[in-house]
């Protein structure tokens, strides 16, 4: 039986938020944002351990109390220059723990509103899959390509388009090899696709938002307070 691990890349600076504090440490509902992200993963009994990839010069992690998560939470000080590099470094550091066929759920530190229902659905639908899969939502809005002059250059056909979220769930060896072969991707599925595979799409919803801009924090706080999970 394959085991399951989570890997949270948290070595970004969050420059689109503005300000000095990396976005994973911004206050959200009385805790740093990443606390909620780690809490969602640690609460899932099927996940054996949660690895979090920090920047080697992270000055914030040590200021908070992570003891509520006990020994299941494992910080790794091996963040890289890009998300793909941080994930790849994290996978390398997990080598003594994760077996080739174990599952790794890679989840953005900046997605604090992952619900237990979304997580359970991903695990249920991907757990028997040969390739792996991701949470995603069908695109709802009409999409425009910027013409570069402040005007619309083109309308992009939206049918069949999905927005990729995380967690993205793949087997340890497949994911590690895929990210060693290509770093020019913005998510794990992109690396798996580059190997010729077709990861599964598991329908999620927009409450699993990635906190990117300052107003997203208020939305995230509202979701955490109103979704009825304890």
| Residues forming the site for ligand C5P (CB under 6 A) | 9-12, 24, 53, 79-83, 86, 108-110, 210, 212
Nearer to ligand C5P, 11 or 44 (CB): 11
Are 229 and 116 a contacting pair, CB within 8 Å?
yes
Are 137 and 204 in contact by the 8 Å Cβ rule? The answer is yes
Q: Which is nearer to ligand C5P, 80 or 133 (CB)?
A: 80
Q: Identify which of residues 197 and 210 has a Cβ nearer to ligand C5P in the complex.
A: 210
Nearer to ligand C5P, 51 or 172 (CB): 51
The helix or strand, by DSSP H or E, that contains position 91, with its residue range, turns out to be helix 83-93
Closest approach of ligand C5P to the CB of residue 151, in Å: 27
- Closest contact distance (angstroms) between CB of 80 and ligand C5P is 6
Question: Cα(225)–Cα(215) distance, rounded to whole angstroms?
Answer: 16
- The number of beta carbons lying within 10 Å of the beta carbon of residue 39 is 17
Could you tell me the smallest distance in angstroms from the CB atom of residue 42 to ligand C5P? 16
Report in angstroms how near the CB of residue 212 gets to ligand C5P at its nearest: 6
Residue number of the CB closest to ligand C5P reads: 12
Task: Report the residue number, 109 or 179, with the smaller CB distance to ligand C5P.
Answer: 109
Closest by CA to 7, choosing from 155, 171, 117, is: 171
State which residue, 10 or 123, has the beta carbon closest to ligand C5P: 10
CA atoms within 13 A on the CB side of 89: 21
Q: What stretches of 140-223 adopt beta strand conformation (E)? A: 143-146, 152-156, 162-171, 200-203
CB of 122 to ligand C5P, least distance (A): 17
| Nearest-approach distance from CB 187 to ligand C5P, in angstroms | 9
Extract the runs of DSSP E, i.e. beta strands, from the chain: 4-9, 27-28, 31-32, 49-53, 73-76, 103-106, 132-138, 143-146, 152-156, 162-171, 200-203
């Amino acid at each position: 039986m394959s085991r399951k691990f989570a890997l949270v890349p948290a070595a970004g600076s969050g420059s689109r938020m503005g300000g000095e504090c990396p976005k994973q440490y911004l206050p959200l509902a009385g805790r740093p944002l990443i606390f909620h992200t780690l809490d969602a993963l640690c609460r899932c009994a099927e996940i054996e351990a949660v690895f979090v990839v920090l920047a080697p010069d992270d000055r914030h992690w040590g200021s908070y109390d992570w003891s509520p998560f006990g020994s299941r939470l494992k910080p790794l000080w091996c963040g890289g220059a890009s998300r793909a590099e941080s994930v790849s470094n994290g996978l390398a550091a997990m080598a003594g723990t994760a077996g080739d066929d174990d599952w790794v759920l890679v989840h953005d530190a900046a997605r604090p509103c992952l619900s237990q229902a979304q997580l359970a659905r991903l695990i249920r639908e991907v757990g028997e899959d040969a390739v792996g899969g991701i949470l995603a939502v069908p695109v709802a809005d009409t999409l425009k390509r910027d013409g570069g002059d402040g005007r619309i250059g083109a309308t992009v056909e939206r049918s069949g388009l999905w927005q990729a979220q995380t967690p993205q769930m793949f087997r340890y060896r497949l994911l590690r090899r895929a990210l060693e072969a290509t770093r020019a991707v913005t998510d794990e599925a992109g690396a798996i696709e580059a190997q010729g595979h077709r990861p599964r799409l598991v329908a999620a919803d927009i409450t699993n938002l990635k906190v990117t801009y300052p107003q997203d924090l208020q939305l995230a706080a509202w979701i955490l307070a109103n979704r009825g999970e304890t």
